[in-house]
Structure 1
């Protein structure tokens, strides 16, 4: 059960103020570093020479640039201390299952300490902004937040698609080149025999039993008519009965009726075992049929080719599905909605 957090306590307000402070100094720090990189570059020299203000750039290099470097060192020291304090608090209050989970969960903060990975600090600022957004504080306008989330999904989908497609291609290559691919396929089939048997039993119960039950009266009537016609088409019996005066015709008709009824009853008895049960509990006949089918030996060239074809086509279908750009479909949908 999720614990309800009160938003009117002093602790919560301090936590909120600290998040705002961290988001501000991270953004400000990155802004200063970007501006410093621009001003210290050849482009900065060219720009200030073009606007005829080289003395301002020189003043920045002499007076302000050392302070930017010094404050960056202070900020890195602050980030290290702040991370260690939060890790210590997380251990005390058992925020995670294991004490050493904290640096792995906050990997982007650990890496962002490095001067070469400063851009990762934006992730923390973005997480803080998103947390405010979830709490109802519109730090970022909805339109910008929606666009940021869209591009985030684009990046994640492209990365995950590349990984999945590479894995599928690797599996296909392994099946093509490995001498043990038949064993892999056989193991795959053996692993799913029980599920295959259950599926066959449910399909038979759902389709064949339902259809037999619906056509039961028609089938029994047809069989009864066939038996009656067979009696009529037996000339020896007809000639024998007609030798009996007066009662011969009546006996012949009764025999035909009895034969018809007998055929109908036998057919009913044969159909009854196939229409009993339900999808959740198929009857014993279908369970026996499905079990026998699932135990088929696939040491047969035609069956092996069939199973291999199913495996390869399944992998290819999965690859096509993964390659489909969901973000592109969403973008097209949004474009059509705007028209």
Structure 2
């Protein structure tokens, strides 16, 4: 109770604000009483219910039937008069304090208050919105925190479930339409290449080059000895199969030495080329080459005059299938498990 009082002192500073808050609570109490009376009178109009009330308390039934039920419209008009007065006072205060851009905005913003003053069955229930409006106001003032209420948690749970299910259905229907458009030969694949990939081709090429450099360098460093041994075997086999080198080895005294030296030189040269090729993957020249390749491929795929590649079309359809599968995931089950 002390916490509520402290909050009231912080947010309600002037007598006018206190009077407005008290008036709002009084109106909310009148709305609750009015709606309770409407519900009870509607039930009393049902014969079996009136008879059941009469069996429990004949005196109350006779009093209510003659005093309240017969004069229900007039009693409701008293409530309407109070609610209409509240609307006029609120309008005057809003115009005086310039709450809205124009003075005549008030009845449009508080349309539920205006329509709730109409003494017809369909409009009377709009008066309950006044209660929700006051709750929202108290929430903004920091006097209450509806997020801690069990009823709020209950309705929020099923609201979140409903919104997620509806949004998932909408997303899946939209994606179905996209797939139909792609299958009919729409230009969506070319637009994806042109509007999504082409503006990012430099970054995509850089990312691809970085990953190629990292993957090849890691693999080559871990298996360098095996790779060089394999290359040495290939060089040895090539030297043995080469007729000119075989003739050179037949030269007396120096032939074998020259052949072995030539084989070692070729093996060392090939290994050096491999080392240099792996080391050059991080150089700007390799990035430029990848960018040129990406540029050529993307230009070809985005060519509007040529028919879209069937594989590109199928790839887009499969991507949409993945999006639909993700949209069907019911995340609310994880949240409210």
TM-score, normalisation: structure 2: 0.70
Q: Distance in 2 between matches of 1:304 and 1:141?
A: 49
For the pair 1:275 / 2:278, whether they are aligned, the reply is no
1:190-201 map, 5 Å? 190-194=194-198, 197=201, 200-201=204-205
Matched, 1:24 2:32: no
Per the alignment, residue 58 of structure 1 pairs with: 65
Secondary structure of the equivalent of 2:52? helix
Equivalent position to 2:134, from 128, 135, 147: 128
Counting only pairs closer than 5 Å after superposition, residues 103-252 of structure 1 correspond to structure 2 as: 109=113, 112-113=116-117, 115=120, 116-129=122-135, 132=138, 137=143, 142=148, 145-155=149-159, 157-159=161-163, 161-162=165-166, 165-166=169-170, 168-169=172-173, 172=176, 176=180, 182-184=186-188, 186-194=190-198, 197=201, 200-201=204-205, 204-217=208-221, 218=223, 221=228, 224-226=231-233, 228-229=235-236, 230-234=238-242, 236-245=244-253, 247-252=254-259
Deviation at 1:263, TM superposition (A): 0.9
Q: Deviations over 1:72-102 (max 9, x none)?
A: 3214413532553465357x256x7x88887
The alignment partner of 1:243 has SS state of coil
CA distance in 2, matches of 1:307, 1:301: 10
Counterpart in the other structure of 1:303: 311
Deviations 1:264-316 (A, max 9, x none): 22223333443347xxxx93333333333333437246236404522651463
- Unpaired segments ≥5 residues, structure 1: 334-339
Equivalent position to 2:290, from 283, 286, 289: 286
Q: How far 1:38 moved relative to its partner? A: 2.7
Deviation of 1:107 after TM superposition, in Å, equals 5.8
Structure 2 portions without partners, runs of 5+: 1-8
Q: Which residue of 1 aligns with 2:264?
A: 257
Aligned length: 315
Cα 1:185–1:47, aligned 2, differ >3 Å: closer, same or farther? farther
Q: What are the equivalent positions in structure 2 for 1:29-44 lying under 5 Å apart?
A: 29-44=34-49
1:207 match: secondary structure: helix
- 1:223, 1:264 within 8 Å by CA — same for their partners in 2? no
| TM-align CA RMSD | 4.3
Taking structure 1 as reference, are residues 49 and 75 closer, same or farther at Cα in structure 2, changes over 3 Å only?
A: same
Question: Which residue of 2 is the match for residue 73 of structure 1?
Answer: 80
Taking structure 1 as the reference length, the TM-score comes to: 0.69
SS of 2:11's equivalent in the other structure is: coil
